Amino acid sequence: MELICPAGTPAALRSAIDAGADAVYCGFNDETNARNFPGLNFSRDELRKGIAFAHSRGARILVAINTFPRASSVALWQRAVDDAVDAGADALIVADIGLMDYVARRHPGQRLHVSVQAAAADPDAIAFYVETFGARRVVLPRVLSVSEIAQITREVSCETEVFVFGGLCVMAEGRCSLSSYATGKSPNMQGVCSPASHVAYEETAQGTTSRLGGFTINRFAPQEAAGYPTLCKGRFSTEHGDGYIFEDPVSLDATTLLAGLRTAGVAALKIEGRQRGRAYIESVVRHFRRALDTMEDGSEADVGSLKPFTEGQASTVGAYRKTWR
Amino acid sequence: MRPLPLLPLQLVLGGFLARILKRNPGLLDRLGDHRRARFGIRPVDLPFAFIVEAAPPRLSAVRELPPGLDAYVSASLANLLALVEGRVDGDALMFSRALTIEGDIEAVLALRNAIDDAQLDLAAELALLLGPLGEPARRSFELVRDSLAGSPQKAR
């Protein structure tokens, strides 16, 4: 199985490759990718240099152009496709049907991956992308069990890629409007879930209060581990008490499921976190490189060593070991 | 015990900052619209703090951070140094509550990402700044850095 690693900066890209990434995914510094955060991402020149570096080390670069173009500015997304192809990207990760059509028609030889943002979670949806646009791989949403992944992988004629670590989005990806509702900025069209411009933290004796777009979404006691300021991980007060309604602040860690994912026929394992620093990239990539190597020689994987990097200092295998329906 | 005079510290660190920014122009590019932001940096284990501006480069050492700065960042000195050198992940420090930020979060993120990409080596920068005294300064800095609480806090 290939190890697909995130990079938000050229330095992170080099760290990922040094740590053992088979491929690195990254995006341009604009609205065309789903991690459009300040100080992050690549200029055209940086991407070109990053691809040259990766290829010199035998690694590949996958360019995420995985937001949904607005009707008034489709050219921005099409230019991103043209520039990524021109820079020598090994694959494009795309979510929007119109943009996939553009890739297939304008750059018929370009390898195309269906982004997790497309929320393609069943064989029929995936078959449509394969048959219509020639997609070679689909990144599956983080809502499927390992047995469901195995079933889908058996039925589709393209490769499947799944997340093994990092932020855990339990929504219909690419469709979630929680952050848009609170901030007026869209994760799906502008690439900003919980944009930093709308996040506020307040430190008081009671702890840290986090707000998004004026909505109080959590208050962490002074010694309590914290999570991202996203509404899906907000702690709400209802008539039943205080608690997390959608999702706890917790990160996915599928280290213990790698063998099962291999048996399921998965082609690639993805680490989330283009917004994270080099220290995260280096440690998490190295961990999974080692876990894959030890799986090959039959020894035990090192479980739990990534806890310091997890949201809420806690991890889960999420829907992979689904016990609910 | 008398408090440390801050002016000499301010002069040395101001020169240090200017040199780092000159040698890493990409840092200002990544700061983008936030290059003129005023950041209050407070090492929680020291009796003073810093006001840092990137453009033009300016660093002030103060006993207390004034209100009205664009953003405030607090952590132990070990964690702040580790963050600047990319040895710890900023989000992980936030999750473990070893880092607190207030004010313009967008400016802080831009600063964090710009610094992380710059791959700064503070000991090497210090050595370059101090010329013939550079090597002993580098060794002293590394000794102090490595002795700070053993290592940066990565998790509780």
pLDDT tens per residue across span A7-29: 999 999 999 999 999 999 999 99
Longest pairwise C-alpha distance within chain B: 43
Q: Please tell me which residue, B8 or A67, carries the higher pLDDT value.
A: A67
Q: A196 in helix, strand or coil?
A: helix
Q: Which residues of A touch B116 (CB under 8 A)?
A: 9, 11-12, 277-278
pLDDT, tens digit, 9 for 90 and up, residues A123-143: 999 999 999 999 999 999 999
Q: Which of A199, A276, A312 sits opposite B105 (nearest CB)?
A: A199
Q: Which of these three, A229, A244, A259, is where a domain ends?
A: A244
**CATH number where A82 lies:** 3.20.20.70
- A163 shares its domain with A233: no
Of B86, B96, B107, the CB nearest to A277: B86
**Claim to verify: residue A31 and residue A65 sit in the same structural domain:** yes
pLDDT digit string (tens) for A42-83?
999 999 999 999 999 999 999 999 999 999 899 999 999 999
- What percent helix, strand, coil does chain B show, rounded to 5? 50, 15, 30
- Answer yes or no: do A159 and A182 share one domain: no
Of all residues in chain B, the one with the smallest CA distance to A273 is B91
**Segments forming the whole domain that contains residue A37:** 2-168+250-321
Q: Answer yes or no: are the C-beta atoms of A31 and A190 closer than 8 Å.
A: yes
Per-position b or e across A138-154, b if 16+ CB within 10 A of its CB: bbbbbbbbbebbbbbbe
Given the DSSP bridges, would you call strands A137-139 and A112-114 parallel, antiparallel or unpaired?
Answer: parallel
Please name each of the domains of chain B with its CATH number: 6-120 (3.30.1050.10)
- Do A48 and A68 share a domain, yes or no? yes
Number of domains making up chain A: 2
Beta-carbon contacts of residue A2 (< 8 Å; ≥ 6 apart): A22, A23, A267, A268, A269
My answer on whether A193 and A295 are in the same domain is no
| Three-state SS at A93 | strand
CB contact under 8 A, A38 and B106: yes
Shortest Cα distance, chain B CAs vs residue A213, angstroms: 12
Inter-chain CB proximity A38 and B109 less than 8 Å = yes
A-chain residues near B86 (CB < 8 A):
11, 277-279
User: Strand locations in A27-111, DSSP E?
Assistant: 60-65, 91-94
Which of A223, A244, A265 is at the close of a domain?
A244
Q: Is A206 exposed, middle or buried (0-12, 13-18, 19+ CB in 10 A)?
A: exposed
Q: Is A284 an interface residue toward B (CB < 8 Å)? A: no
Residue A210 CB burial class (10 angstroms; 0-12, 13-18, ≥19) = buried
Boundary residue ending a domain (A201, A227, A244): A244
Q: Is residue A173 part of a domain?
A: no
**Beta bridge pairs of residue A163:** A270
Q: How confident is the model at residue A324 (pLDDT cuts 50, 70, 90)?
A: low
Phi-psi region of A313 (alpha: psi -120 to 50; beta: other; left: phi over 0): left
Q: In what order do the strands lie in the sheet with B71-75?
A: B58-62, B49-53, B38-43, B71-75, B99-103
Q: Which residues of B touch A (CB under 8 A)?
A: 30-32, 34, 86-92, 94-97, 100-102, 105-114, 116-119, 154-156
Nearest CA in chain A to B88: A279
For residue A221, the chain B residue with the least C-alpha distance is B97
State the complex-level ipTM.
Answer: 0.93
Assess contact for A168 and A273: CB atoms under 8 A. no
Residue A176 to residues A36, A180, A319, B71, Cα–Cα distance (Å): 16, 8, 18, 30
